[in-house]
Amino acid sequence: TWIITCFCLQLLLLNPLVKAQSSCGNPVTDDVNDIAKLVGNLPNDYMITLKYVPKMDSLPNHCWLHLMVPEFSRSLHNLLQKFSDISDMSNVLSNYSIINNLTRIINDLMACLAFDKNKDFVKENGHLYEEGRFIPEDFFRHFNSTIEVYKEFADTLDKNDCVLPSTVETPENDSRVAVTKTFLFPPVAASSLRNDSIGSNTSSNS
């Protein structure tokens, strides 16, 4: 009886811990493999708006994710709306499906970041953002790089609060909106973005 009782107590005590560790799961699915097809379908001069934070030595990588992931969510949502009202083109429907899947991934990733825990950090550092406009190939290369940064730090994201030192550097302000302005990511291996068919469907998707 004591053995059974102890066993049941262990299950009851450990079960919440197991749920806490596995509740997030892996938000990144194989749908990211469709990015190359999406980039090939979009006009190569199409511009996608994204607010971004340049990488700084004083900005920890996990805190950088808290700043960037919500902005990717907004940009993908806005991009999705460009295709949602068009129903008579198979390529556009395919694009809609891919973007919708990528939006789901980035939203799930934001949930895994425990965004509410550091929402004040994001509000207090809004001055770090810059406005940028990127062609599809560059935008989704940055998207892939963000996914890689998340994978690198997924196991430690919930262990540290985001607090910047008082001497945090501020990126140079540029009131102009950059057309293909680049920004640096943390030093992790970013996935290369193939663009085998870019331009082939430009006329049909324009």
Q: How long a stretch of residues is the chain? A: 206
Residue 99 lies inside a defined structural domain of this protein: yes
Q: Tokens representing 191?
A: 């996935």
For residue 62, what is the domain's CATH number?
1.20.1250.10
- Find which of 11-15, 78-82, 93-97, 159-163 is predicted with most confidence, using mean pLDDT: 78-82
C-alpha span between 150 and 109 (Å, rounded): 8
Query: Each residue of 42-60: pLDDT tens digit?
Result: 999 999 999 999 888 888 8
- Non-local CB neighbours of 130 within 8 Å, separated by 6+ positions: 51, 52, 53, 54, 171, 173, 174, 178, 181, 183
- For residue 203, tell me if it sits in a domain: no
Number of Cβ within a 10 Å radius of residue 177:
12
Domain presence at residue 137:
yes
8 lies in a domain? Answer: no
Which residues span the domain enclosing 48?
33-154
Q: Does residue 180 form part of some domain? A: no
27 in a domain, yes or no? no
The model's pLDDT over 109-120, given as tens digits with 9 standing for 90+, comes to 888 887 667 778
Q: How many domains does the chain fold into?
A: 1
In a domain, 47, yes or no: yes
User: pTM score > 0.85 for this model?
Assistant: no
